[in-house]
């Protein structure tokens, strides 16, 4: 039996050669990157709110195709608003909906109430806060409260101008307006102005029937046709001053003006034979013209103290009134009836 032994000689550590994988790149030291962002007022308001709120930010408002606050609110789910109306002939107005929210601007109502607030241009508003339930800050009925926050002063000089035309099939309308703002140091100001003109027209037909013993004893028809023009203007300014230590003063004057001209023509008819509905004859006619102008304003002063991570406290002083109260003239004529 034979045995064989193989000897293997290994190189010592000092003799071994070190190899580097060419696919591995040498390490590199990266520069420090600083990331910063401006705070989101809508997000901060949601976080610091003491009650449940729905916040519609400025970015959301710009995505909606709307010219006025009324147009915006009618697109939002869960907001109950009556159709805009001036009351119709002889001042017959639709009663307010008990579920209609109370609308305020920067925490306070406007002269003229919801009607003036709904006509505000969207460009004036920074965000919309919808408070569903009554709170100590915003007491309200079943409809809750909608708080419109006016646009704040820009961080640097900025301005814009907008104009538009509309046509309703009978007459032209238009809107024009813009804003300009600037900030220097701890103070800033923004001025906003808008004007609007549009035709107003409408018609209705009312049929009245009376019965006795199951038979129709009377049948009258009344038609109304209205036409006119509605002109309005809004001028607002906002001055802010940083007082230090998270304290801030805001002064906001506002002025609203409106001019309305309307004409209505009412015709009445009666059926000579109400049973069969034949023999429709003229039974009178009435023409009415109405002109209404009003000018009102508001001045608010707000002091706010921000507490990081805990919201803010503040105080508000508000003065409002009608430098030129609403003035309306109405003339009614009854022309001769032609059969």
Which residue, of 151, 168, 199, is where some domain finishes? 151
What pLDDT score was predicted for residue 180?
Answer: 96
What pLDDT score was predicted for residue 339?
Answer: 45
Residue 242 has pLDDT above 50, yes or no: yes
Region 281-295: what's the mean pLDDT? 91
What pLDDT score was predicted for residue 322?
Answer: 74
Residue 158 has pLDDT above 50, yes or no: yes
Residue 169 has pLDDT above 90, yes or no: no
Question: Residue 150 burial by CB count (10 A; 0-12/13-18/19+): exposed, middle or buried?
Answer: buried
What pLDDT score was predicted for residue 1?
Answer: 44
Whether 132 and 45 map to the same domain: the answer is yes
What pLDDT score was predicted for residue 181?
Answer: 95
Range(s) of the domain holding residue 94: 40-151
- Upper half-sphere CA count for residue 60 (Cβ side, 13 Å): 16
Band (pLDDT 50/70/90 cuts) for residue 144 is confident
- Upper half-sphere CA count for residue 303 (Cβ side, 13 Å): 6
Whether 195 and 258 map to the same domain: the answer is yes
Which of 22-31, 123-132, 220-229, 301-310 is least confident?
22-31
Band (pLDDT 50/70/90 cuts) for residue 13 is very low
Residue 249 has pLDDT above 90, yes or no: yes
**Among 174, 191, 199, 200, residue whose Cα is nearest residue 67:** 174
Whether 130 and 249 map to the same domain: the answer is no
For residue 31, is it within any domain? no
Higher pLDDT pick, 333 / 231? 231
* Stated pTM of the model: 0.68
Task: Give the H or E element holding residue 132.
Answer: none
173, 157 Cβ separation under 8 angstroms = no
What pLDDT score was predicted for residue 140?
Answer: 76
Which residue, of 134, 151, 168, is where some domain finishes? 151
Whether 191 and 271 map to the same domain: the answer is yes
The residues that bridge with 176 in the sheet, in sequence order, are: 163, 195
What pLDDT score was predicted for residue 91?
Answer: 46
Mean residue pLDDT of the chain comes to 81
Band (pLDDT 50/70/90 cuts) for residue 110 is confident
Whether 284 and 312 map to the same domain: the answer is yes
Task: Give the H or E element holding residue 25.
Answer: none
Band (pLDDT 50/70/90 cuts) for residue 112 is confident
Which residue, of 119, 151, 183, is where some domain finishes? 151
What is the Cα–Cα distance from 66 to 43, expressed in whole angstroms? 23
Residue 50 has pLDDT above 80, yes or no: no
Whether 188 and 310 map to the same domain: the answer is yes
Region 169-196: what's the mean pLDDT? 92
Region 60-78: what's the mean pLDDT? 85
Ramachandran category for residue 228: left, alpha or beta (phi over 0 → left; psi -120 to 50 → alpha): left
């Amino acid at each position: 039996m034979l045995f064989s032994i193989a000897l293997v000689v290994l190189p010592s550590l000092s003799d071994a050669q070190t190899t580097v994988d060419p696919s591995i790149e040498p390490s590199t030291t990266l520069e420090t990157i600083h990331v910063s962002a401006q705070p989101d007022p809508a997000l901060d308001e949601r976080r610091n709110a003491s009650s449940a709120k729905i916040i519609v930010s400025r970015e959301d408002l710009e995505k909606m195709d709307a010219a006025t606050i009324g147009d915006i609110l009618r697109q939002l789910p869960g907001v109950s608003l009556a159709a805009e109306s001036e009351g119709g002939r002889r001042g017959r107005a639709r009663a307010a909906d008990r579920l209609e929210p109370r609308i305020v601007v920067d925490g306070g109502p406007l002269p003229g109430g919801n009607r003036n607030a709904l006509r505000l241009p969207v460009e004036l508003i920074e965000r919309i806060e919808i408070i569903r339930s009554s709170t100590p800050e915003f007491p309200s009925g079943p409809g809750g409260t909608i708080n419109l926050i006016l646009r704040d002063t820009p961080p640097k000089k900025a301005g814009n101008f907008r104009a538009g035309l509309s046509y309703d099939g009978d007459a032209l309308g238009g809107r024009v307006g813009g804003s300009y703002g600037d900030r220097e140091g701890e103070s800033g100001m923004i001025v906003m102005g808008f004007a609007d003109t549009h035709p107003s027209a409408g018609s209705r037909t009312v049929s009245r029937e009376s019965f006795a013993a199951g038979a129709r004893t009377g049948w009258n028809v009344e038609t109304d046709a209205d036409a006119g023009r509605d002109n309005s203007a809004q001028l607002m300014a906002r001055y802010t001053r940083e007082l230090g230590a998270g304290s801030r003063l805001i002064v906001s004057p506002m002025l609203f003006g409106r001019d309305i001209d309307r004409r209505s023509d009412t015709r009445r008819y009666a059926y000579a034979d109400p049973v069969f509905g034949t023999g429709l004859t003229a039974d009178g006619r009435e023409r009415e013209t109405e002109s209404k102008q009003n000018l009102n304003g508001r001045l608010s002063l707000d002091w706010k103290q921000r507490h990081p991570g805990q919201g803010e406290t503040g105080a508000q002083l508000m003065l409002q009134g009608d430098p030129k109260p609403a003035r309306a003239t109405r003339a009614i004529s009854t022309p001769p009836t032609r059969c």
